[in-house]
Amino acid sequence: MVAQRGIATFAVDGIDLGAFLTGTTWNPHQDDANGMPTVGALPMISGSFAVTLLSTLFALPIAIGSAIFVVEIAPGLGVACSSRSLSFWWESRRSFTG
C-alpha cells in the first residue's frame, strides 16, 4: 500500500524524480511553475546523512576505546561480562520457551 502510493507519486501524478531528489522546498500544497506540487527532498536527505555522520563520529571513538580496553587492558573483565550477559539471556530465553 505504501509502496504503491509512493510509486504512484512519480508514475501517475507526474512528479519528476530528479526535481524531487534535488529540490529544496517541501510544500506539497503549493504548485510550482509547471503546476506540480513543490516537493523537494534534498534537505531531508542531506540532514539524514549529516545525522548519520555525526553519530558515527561520536560513537566510533567510544567503540574503539571500549574494544581496546576489553581486549588489551582488562581481558578478564570482558569475558566475565559477556559470560554473565549470555547466561542471563539464555536463562531468560529458557523461562519463556518452557
Reported pTM: 0.62
| Amino acid present at 36 | M
- Is residue 80's pLDDT more than 80? no
C-alpha cell, 47 = 540532514
**Least confident segment among 3-17, 19-33, 78-92:** 78-92
Which 8-state DSSP code applies to residue 35?
S
How far is residue 43's CA from residue 46's CA, in Å, rounded to a whole number? 5
pLDDT in tens, 8-21: 888 888 888 888 89
